[in-house]
């Protein structure tokens, strides 16, 4: 697919070279702009580069929204380049133990039509996007550059060049950069958003949920090849639901699984006290055997203890803010605009979708100006065109971003607890049945709408709530109608009995009076 070109060549500065920033750079470069990408860390393709949270990070789940954004990037080979290093996950595998003590696995497919989400290593995805950028002649990558200031009225920014973490403030050189548009894709603790707040009346809300996470790993089987490398199914996202907490495992290409423990801070405090004791290994093992049966068969207890002690225990944050832009000069995307907890697997996908929607709106306003007779010296300037486009982007995207943030929080309850509920499974089965056998009604599960479609998140919520109301009414009708019918039947029987009884009584009384 060829990307449309903007009417006026611009200089676009992108802060953040993660997946969202890299895709935004591809979109901008394909429109003929001069693009500069500034990243705080060293080259993200270098294995020695330390991630900002000091861990490999939760493996990513790439779904339709992210793939759709890549399809529209103007790089025909991008999708194949990325999906070559993914593993399809067709559903959840729920792990548990029967009352008899026997371990079990129960598969819950994501989609009755067989669609899957794709597990991908964050580093592998980033490398492929950066490789494409590096081959584009109008893109320049700058690593080890920290945004320290921005003037969004005069379109200037300042970056420190940090080659060494031990450098003193006095020895760090600083450069000044001009731009037409700055795109902030620099994560939940965004420097671009921080500096935007000095120029824009931004509403801002952040929430840390009472859950920490820590990473573990199921190693591949030694001496094995192909699918036999995997100790458990590579076709699933594995969940050990603990009702108030959970343990998950996501497959990686090399046969390993990236695993994550999610639990309240109080549980982590208890485990930390266990881990420091001489019998810490046995106590950690007992905890996992109690709440996540079967995990110690996949990860030896000494490895569980060492991972728990060595890997950081990190918080989970949700961020809502508005607006997402300032005038014509700046806009924020991805976690910088709407950080969310990872339980719907939509954080990155929503960020990549941001890119597609932003540039679709920018393209629309460019075409509108090209087709109008506006005086280029007034409202037809590139700056006023961008300002209108960015304002529309903010208005369109905020309801959807806030909707998926809320859905991600709700899905934590589903993953750790609801997957065990017969009512949850009944509703899922009923909605899937309706989608297959009565397709004209347009019924789908909420998960399918979010992960396998491109409807607006806010519309997904509205449709799901409407389906829920219909199901509830149907359920009440299905239960209530027989009860009501029974009540009517009994009432009529009672009426006949009363009428018959009254008639018999009157007949008897008449006979008595006649005899008298």
Domains in the chain, number: 3
pLDDT, tens digit only, all 516 positions of the chain: 445 555 578 999 999 999 999 999 999 999 999 999 999 999 988 877 766 554 555 578 999 999 999 999 999 889 999 999 899 999 999 999 999 999 999 998 998 889 999 999 888 899 999 999 999 999 999 999 999 999 999 999 999 998 765 566 667 899 999 999 999 999 999 999 999 999 999 999 999 999 999 999 999 998 666 668 999 999 999 999 988 899 999 999 889 999 999 999 999 999 999 888 888 899 999 999 999 999 999 999 999 999 999 999 999 999 999 999 999 999 999 999 999 999 999 999 999 999 999 999 999 998 887 776 555 444 458 899 999 999 999 999 999 999 999 999 988 887 776 666 676 666 667 777 667 766 667 778 888 999 999 999 999 999 888 887 887 777 666 654 454 344 444 445 544 544 444 344 334 333 433 443
Residues 47 and 166 in one domain: yes
Residues 331 and 387 in one domain: yes
Residue 478 lies in a domain: no
Residue 489 lies in a domain: no
Residue 495 lies in a domain: no
Residue 237 lies in a domain: yes
Whether the CB-CB separation of 240 and 295 falls below 8 Å is answered with yes
Backbone angles phi, psi at 2, to 5 degrees: -85, 135
Which of 317, 351, 371 is a domain's end point?
A: 317
Residues 226 and 244 in one domain: yes
Residues 195 and 210 in one domain: no
Residues 333 and 304 in one domain: no
Backbone angles phi, psi at 246, to 5 degrees: -160, 165
pTM metric for this prediction = 0.86
Residues 242 and 361 in one domain: no
Residues, the chain: 516
Q: What value does the CA radius of gyration of the chain take, rounded to a whole number of Å?
A: 29
Distance CA(389)–CA(383), nearest Å, equals 10
Residue 65, SS3 per DSSP? helix
Which of 287, 317, 347 is a domain's end point?
A: 317
Backbone angles phi, psi at 391, to 5 degrees: -65, -40
Distance CA(160)–CA(146), nearest Å, equals 5
Residues 239 and 366 in one domain: no
Residue 195 lies in a domain: yes
Strand duo 11-15 + 34-38: pairing: parallel
Taking each helix axis from N to C end, the angle separating 301-310 and 265-275, rounded to the nearest 10 degrees, works out to 110
Whether the CB-CB separation of 248 and 259 falls below 8 Å is answered with yes
Domain span at 427: 418-470
Residue 2 lies in a domain: no
Residues 366 and 377 in one domain: yes
Q: Which of 199, 159, 215, 171 is nearest to 325 (CA)?
A: 199
Any residues with CB less than 8 A from the CB of 358 and at least 6 apart, and which? 24, 27, 331, 333, 393, 397
Whether the CB-CB separation of 452 and 64 falls below 8 Å is answered with yes
Residues 388 and 404 in one domain: yes
Residues 386 and 456 in one domain: no
Residue 295 lies in a domain: yes
Residue 165 confidence (pLDDT) = 56
∠250-254-259 over CA atoms, to 5°? 25
415-461 pLDDT, tens digit each: 776 666 676 666 667 777 667 766 667 778 888 999 999 999 999 99
Taking each helix axis from N to C end, the angle separating 382-416 and 457-515, rounded to the nearest 10 degrees, works out to 50
Distance CA(396)–CA(499), nearest Å, equals 67
Report the CATH number at residue 195: 3.50.50.60
In this structure, what DSSP letter does residue 378 have?
T
Distance CA(418)–CA(412), nearest Å, equals 9
Residue 395, SS3 per DSSP? helix
User: H helices of 438-456, where?
Assistant: 446-452
Whether the CB-CB separation of 53 and 260 falls below 8 Å is answered with no
Residues 331 and 461 in one domain: no
Residues 248 and 382 in one domain: no
Which of 317, 340, 372 is a domain's end point?
A: 317
**Cis, bond preceding 323 (omega within 30 deg of 0):** yes
Query: Three-state SS string across 147-214, please?
Result: EEEEECCCCEEEEEECCCCCCCHHHCCEEEEECCEEEECCCCCCHHHHHHCCCCCCEEEEEEEEEEEE
Percent of the chain with pLDDT over 90: 65
The region that residue 223 occupies, defined by phi over 0 for left and psi between -120 and 50 for alpha, beta otherwise, is left
Distance CA(410)–CA(241), nearest Å, equals 15
Residue 476 lies in a domain: no
Residue 506 confidence (pLDDT) = 36
Whether the CB-CB separation of 61 and 117 falls below 8 Å is answered with yes
The region that residue 327 occupies, defined by phi over 0 for left and psi between -120 and 50 for alpha, beta otherwise, is left
66-88 pLDDT, tens digit each: 999 999 999 988 999 999 989 99
Q: Which of 70, 418, 118, 63 is nearest to 241 (CA)?
A: 418
Distance CA(334)–CA(348), nearest Å, equals 7
């Amino acid at each position: 697919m060829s990307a449309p070109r903007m009417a006026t060549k611009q200089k676009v500065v992108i802060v953040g070279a993660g997946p969202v920033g890299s895709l935004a750079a591809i979109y901008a470069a394909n429109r003929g702009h001069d693009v500069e990408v500034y990243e705080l860390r060293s080259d993200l393709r270098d294995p020695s580069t330390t991630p900002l949270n000091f861990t490999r990070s939760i493996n990513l789940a790439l779904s339709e929204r992210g793939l759709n954004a890549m399809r529209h990037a103007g790089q025909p080979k991008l999708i194949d380049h990325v999906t070559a290093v993914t593993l399809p996950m067709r559903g959840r595998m729920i792990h548990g133990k029967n009352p008899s003590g026997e371990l079990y696995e129960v598969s819950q497919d994501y989609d009755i039509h067989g669609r899957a989400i794709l597990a991908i290593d964050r580093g592998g995805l980033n490398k492929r996007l950066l490789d494409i950028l590096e081959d584009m002649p109008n893109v320049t990558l700058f690593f080890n550059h920290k945004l320290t200031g921005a003037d969004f009225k005069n379109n200037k920014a300042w970056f420190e060049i940090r080659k060494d973490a031990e450098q003193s403030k006095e020895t760090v050189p600083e450069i000044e950069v001009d731009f037409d548009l700055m795109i902030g894709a620099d994560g939940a603790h965004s420097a671009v958003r921080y500096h935007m707040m000095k120029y824009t009346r931004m509403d801002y809300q952040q929430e840390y949920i009472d859950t920490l996470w820590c990473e573990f790993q199921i190693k591949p089987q030694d001496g094995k090849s192909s699918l036999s490398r995997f100790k458990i199914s590579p076709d699933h996202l594995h969940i050990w639901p603990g009702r108030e907490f959970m343990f998950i495992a996501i497959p990686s290409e090399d046969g390993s699984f990236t695993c994550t423990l999610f639990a309240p801070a109080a549980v982590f405090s208890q485990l930390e006290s266990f881990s420091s004791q001489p019998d810490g290994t046995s106590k950690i093992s007992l905890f996992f055997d109690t709440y996540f049966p079967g995990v110690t068969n996949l990860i030896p207890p000494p490895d569980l203890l060492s991972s728990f002690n060595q890997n950081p225990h990190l918080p989970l944050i949700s961020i809502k803010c508005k607006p997402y832009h300032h005038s014509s000069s700046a806009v924020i995307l991805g976690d910088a605009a709407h950080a969310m907890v990872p339980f719907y697997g939509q954080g990155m996908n929503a960020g990549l979708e941001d890119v597609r929607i932003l540039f679709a709106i920018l393209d629309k306003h460019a075409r509108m100006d090209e087709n109008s007779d506006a005086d280029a010296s007034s409202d037809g300037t590139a700056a006023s065109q961008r300002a209108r486009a960015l304002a529309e982007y903010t208005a369109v995207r905020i309801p959807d971003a806030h909707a998926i943030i809320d859905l991600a929080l709700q899905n934590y309850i589903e993953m750790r607890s609801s997957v065990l509920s017969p009512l949850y499974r009944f509703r899922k089965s009923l909605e899937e049945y309706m989608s297959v056998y009565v397709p004209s009604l347009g019924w789908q599960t909420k998960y399918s709408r979010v992960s396998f479609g491109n409807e607006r998140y806010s519309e997904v919520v509205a449709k799901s709530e409407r389906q829920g109301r219909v199901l509830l009414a149907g359920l009440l009708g299905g239960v209530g109608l027989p009860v009501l019918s029974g009540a009517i039947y009994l009432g009529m029987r009672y009426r006949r009995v009363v009428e018959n009884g009254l008639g018999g009584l009157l007949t008897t009384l008449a006979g008595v009076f006649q005899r008298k």
